[in-house]
């Protein structure tokens, strides 16, 4: 008879069985690598992990980019990358004046001309930053009489006759002086029609009609025949007089329908009128009238 040996009890308590997680995957070895079920399961797990990884990277990238965009300094604030100053003056935002009740914005009337209903004083270019206003230029109401304006020309009598013939309605004016001594005076002449305004513009830009401060002026056509504004009514011309004992002078005229603007800029002794500032004033004043 064969005996079966039974090991003697050591007396130690039997270990408690570990709790079973019903949702845990089987602890046994998975399907063989070559089996179909094993390949599909592992592929799904890898694809799921890859998708989550890409999502995390995208979220992190977008967050980082947004943070940089919100906190990065402007290009002009970075050393060496700022746009160098070109000498232009700093003007406040251009604001057009309110129109009279029932009036419309400048547009072509029945005769095809551009008509302005706004007060010409509200169409004058505002003072640039740092400028000192020239309160002596116009009276308290901001207007200049025809005789006083005609006195600016070499032949005041002829200029006065021209203004009377073309029936100028009002002449508004504004002037200022910059810290470097450059003075600017802007005049706006409002006529009854674009035809009379065009006639006056032609007279002003004629070589025989010269301002007293610009007797030796040589015409500079740099802005003549420039692309017109959409209304087709704008034109511009400039003069560059030679320097004199009173300083250099630049004179410019702009026509916009029933309005004619004149800009006179004078530099102090020994200096030239800044070309950049002069062109800037001319273009901005034209924009106010367009």
> Which of 56-60, 121-125, 227-231 is modeled with the greatest confidence?
121-125
Tokens of 252: 């410019």
Domain ranges (residues) in the chain? 130-289
pLDDT of residue 202: 87
* Phi, psi dihedral angles at 163 (to 5 degrees): -65, -35
3-state helix, strand, coil in the chain (%, to 5): 30, 20, 50
Question: Residue 112 pLDDT > 70, yes or no?
Answer: no
Q: Is the pLDDT of residue 127 over 80?
A: yes
The residue that leads in pLDDT, 153 or 4, is 153
- The residue among 68 and 93 whose pLDDT is bigger is 93
pLDDT higher at 247 or 126? 126
Please compute the mean of the pLDDT values over residues 121-138 and round it to a whole number.
94
Report pLDDT for 212.
78
DSSP H or E run through 240? strand 234-241
**pLDDT at residue 115, as a whole number:** 84
pLDDT tens per residue across span 148-204: 999 998 889 999 999 999 889 999 999 999 999 999 999 999 998 889 998 988 888
Mean pLDDT of 84-111: 76
Report for 13-22, 70-79, 103-112, 139-148: range of highest mean pLDDT: 139-148
What pLDDT does 11 receive? 52
Query: Cα separation of 63 and 172, whole Å?
Result: 56
Q: Which of 246, 166, 245 is nearest to 204 (CA)?
A: 166
Q: State what percent of residues in the chain have pLDDT above 90.
A: 30
pLDDT at 227 over 60: no
Provide the β-strand partners of residue 287. Answer: none
More confident position, 282 or 204 = 282
**Where does the pLDDT of residue 90 fall: very low under 50, low under 70, confident under 90, or very high at 90 and above?**
very high
- Indicate the CATH number of 130-289 among 3.40.1000, 3.10.540, 3.30.40, 1.10.150: 3.40.1000
């Amino acid at each position: 008879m064969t005996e079966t040996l039974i090991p003697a009890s050591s007396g130690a308590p039997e270990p408690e069985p570990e709790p079973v997680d019903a949702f845990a995957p089987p602890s046994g070895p998975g399907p063989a690598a070559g089996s179909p079920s094993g390949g599909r399961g592992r592929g799904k797990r890898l694809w799921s992990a890859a998708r989550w990884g890409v999502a995390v990277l995208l979220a992190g990238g977008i967050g980082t980019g947004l943070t940089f965009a919100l906190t990065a300094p402007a290009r002009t604030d970075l050393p060496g990358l700022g746009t160098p100053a070109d000498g232009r003056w700093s003007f406040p935002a251009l604001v057009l004046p309110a129109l009279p009740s029932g009036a419309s914005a400048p547009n072509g009337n029945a005769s095809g001309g551009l008509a302005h209903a706004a007060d010409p004083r509200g169409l004058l270019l505002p003072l640039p930053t740092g400028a000192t206003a020239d309160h002596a230029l116009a009276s308290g109401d901001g207007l200049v009489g025809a005789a006083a304006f005609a006195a600016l020309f070499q032949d005041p009598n002829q200029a006065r006759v021209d203004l009377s013939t073309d029936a100028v309605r009002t002449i508004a004016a504004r002037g200022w002086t910059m810290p470097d001594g450059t003075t600017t005076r802007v005049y706006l002449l409002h006529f009854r029609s674009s035809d009379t305004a065009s006639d006056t513009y032609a007279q002003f830009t004629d070589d025989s009609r010269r301002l007293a401060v610009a007797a030796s002026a040589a015409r500079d056509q740099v802005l003549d025949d420039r692309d017109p504004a959409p209304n087709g009514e704008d034109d511009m011309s400039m003069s560059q007089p030679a320097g004199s004992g009173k300083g250099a002078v630049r004179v410019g005229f702009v026509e916009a329908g029933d309005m004619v603007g004149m800009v006179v800029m004078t530099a102090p002794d020994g200096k030239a009128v800044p070309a950049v500032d002069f062109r800037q004033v001319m273009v901005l004043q034209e924009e106010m009238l367009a």
